[in-house]
């Protein structure tokens, strides 16, 4: 393994990809060249200083009970209705578990006719994202991850930004994710795991993106996966943090934070709604690979719209 670094202060050429990955070279660690917190005045936002610092140093934080139990119950019911929708089966944005009929993810929930469209615009989420990214924001991607009981499969270690940069053409690390727990996320049922501090470095991965990679990667990702030595090295500094979250709690994490989750062989599903907020100034360009852009349900490109936020209980229009 070669570990290279871009010299500090060396401005890259305009046409140079500062986050190259899957270009047929040996995997390596590159420095992050973007800020983590973009807020200009850190004390004027919706977050306590301690959470802003945690986001910057660790790459994530959790806000307990951001949504109340009645809101969660309403979301949970709509989630069940969405997954039972007979029109849904066979639809490209409904992704099954590998080798199994169980539902793994539903994408583009912010465009659904459901409370999940309202949730995407909720001030409790949008306010935090706008503050940390210090820009107008839009939804780059949204999804529901079911992690069904007994059969839910793992998500192997990856940085979301690596995929969004290479396959979607997201230029910089100016995006973050919010994962809203709809069921208990315990240590047992395959909760999100992070390598804290890993967002300060970019893992340039090996291989080349195959055609229609998403058809496979959404079930089991095999490109954009760091090699063992790099994962060991990242965890030797940051360790591994397991996120326990009760229904209604929200985990915010940086787009480049290394994360994954184990399978779920417990009889308890682990279901989360997941929204990716991107800065409007960081809107996607052409992908940084030779494949065509991914479909709109995975990456907003044609329908980019700055979000307006909505306050109050999500059940009240
Ligand atoms: O493809 C995506 O956009 C997301 N899904 C996977 C499995 N990895 C990268 C990213 O999180
Ligand atoms: Fe991810």
Write the secondary structure of 262-308 as one string of H (helix), E (strand) and C (coil): CCECCCCCCCEEEEEEEEHHHCCCCCCCCCCCCCCCCCCCCCCCCCC
Q: What is the pLDDT of residues 131-189, one digit of tens each?
A: 999 999 999 999 999 999 999 999 999 999 999 999 999 999 999 999 999 999 999 99
Enumerate residues 6+ apart whose C-beta is below 8 A from 300: 138, 139, 140, 141, 284
Contact in structure between 159 and 109 (CB atoms under 8 Å): no
**87 alpha carbon to ligand 1 midpoint, in Å?**
25
User: Which DSSP string do the residues of 143-167 spell out, in sequence order?
Assistant: EEE---TTTBPPEEEE-HHHHHHHH
Place of tokens 């969660």: 72
Paired with 208 in beta bridges are 23
Each residue's pLDDT tens digit in the chain (317 positions)? Answer: 333 444 444 455 557 899 999 999 999 999 999 999 999 999 999 999 999 999 999 999 999 999 999 999 999 999 999 988 877 778 899 998 888 778 899 999 999 999 999 999 999 999 999 999 999 999 999 999 999 999 999 999 999 999 999 999 999 999 999 999 999 999 999 999 999 999 999 999 999 999 999 999 999 999 999 999 999 999 999 999 999 999 999 999 999 999 999 999 999 999 999 999 999 999 999 999 999 999 999 999 999 999 999 999 999 97
Contact in structure between 260 and 193 (CB atoms under 8 Å): yes
Binding-site residues, ligand 1, Cβ < 6 A: 141, 155, 158, 160, 163, 217-218, 221, 298
Q: Could you tell me the two tokens for 246?
A: 């009760």
**163 alpha carbon to ligand 2 midpoint, in Å?**
9
Nearest CA to ligand 1 atom 7: 218
Paired with 278 in beta bridges are 138, 175
* pLDDT at residue number 88: 74
Q: Collect residues with CB below 5 Å from ion ligand 2.
A: 160
Angle at 61 between CA 60 and CA 65, to 5 degrees: 145
- Walk me through the domains of the chain, giving residue ranges and CATH numbers: 4-316 (2.60.120.620)
- Nearest ligand 1 atom to the CA of 164 is 3
Residue from 217, 226, 274 whose mutation best tests the ligand 1 pocket (most atoms within 8 A of CB): 217
Place of tokens 């047929």: 24
* pLDDT at residue number 8: 44
Cα 79 from Cα 76, distance rounded (Å): 5
Residue from 97, 146, 158 whose mutation best tests the ligand 1 pocket (most atoms within 8 A of CB): 158
Nearest CA to ligand 1 atom 4: 160
Residue from 221, 284, 291 whose mutation best tests the ligand 1 pocket (most atoms within 8 A of CB): 221
Burial 217-256 (b: 16+ CB within 10 A, else e): bbbebebbbbeeebbebbbeebeebebebebbbbbbbbbb
Q: Could you give the dihedral angle defined by the CA atoms of residues 52, 239, 277 and 288, in that order, rounded to the nearest 10 degrees?
A: 130
Cα 97 from Cα 154, distance rounded (Å): 10
**250 alpha carbon to ligand 1 midpoint, in Å?**
19
Contact in structure between 139 and 120 (CB atoms under 8 Å): yes
- Nearest ligand 1 atom to the CA of 162 is 9
**164 alpha carbon to ligand 1 midpoint, in Å?**
8
Enumerate residues 6+ apart whose C-beta is below 8 A from 215: none
Main-chain phi, psi angles of 200, to 5 degrees: -80, -10
- Nearest ligand 1 atom to the CA of 217 is 7
* pLDDT at residue number 85: 84
């Amino acid at each position: 393994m070669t570990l290279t670094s871009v010299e500090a202060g060396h401005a890259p050429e305009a046409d140079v990809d500062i986050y190259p990955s899957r270009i047929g070279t040996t995997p390596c660690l590159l420095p992050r060249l973007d800020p983590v917190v973009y807020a200009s005045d850190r004390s004027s936002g919706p977050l306590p200083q301690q959470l802003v610092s945690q986001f910057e140093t660790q790459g994530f934080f959790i806000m307990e009970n951001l949504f109340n139990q009645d809101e969660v119950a309403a979301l949970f019911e709509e989630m069940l209705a969405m997954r039972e929708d007979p029109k849904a089966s066979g639809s490209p944005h409904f992704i099954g578990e590998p080798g199994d009929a169980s539902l793994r993810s539903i994408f583009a929930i912010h465009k659904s006719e459901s409370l999940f469209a309202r949730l995407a615009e909720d001030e409790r989420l949008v306010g935090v994202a706008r503050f940390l990214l210090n820009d107008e924001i839009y939804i780059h991607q949204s999804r529901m991850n079911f992690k069904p009981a007994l059969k839910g499969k793992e998500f192997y270690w990856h940085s979301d930004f690596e995929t969004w940069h290479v396959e979607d053409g997201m230029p910089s690390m100016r995006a973050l994710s919010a994962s809203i727990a709809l069921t208990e996320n315990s240590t047992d049922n395959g909760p999100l795991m992070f390598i804290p501090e890993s967002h300060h470095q970019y893992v340039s991965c090996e291989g080349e993106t195959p055609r229609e990679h998403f058809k496979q990667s959404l079930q089991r990702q095999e490109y954009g996966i760091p090699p063992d030595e790099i994962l060991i090295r990242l965890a030797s500094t940051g360790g591994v943090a397991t996120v326990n979250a009760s229904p209604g709690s929200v985990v915010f994490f940086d787009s480049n934070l290394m994360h994954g989750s184990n399978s779920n062989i417990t009889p308890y599903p682990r279901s989360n709604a997941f929204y990716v907020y991107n800065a409007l100034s960081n809107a996607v360009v052409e992908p940084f690979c030779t494949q065509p852009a991914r479909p709109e349900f995975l990456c907003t490109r044609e329908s980019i719209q700055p979000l307006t936020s909505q306050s109050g209980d999500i059940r009240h229009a």
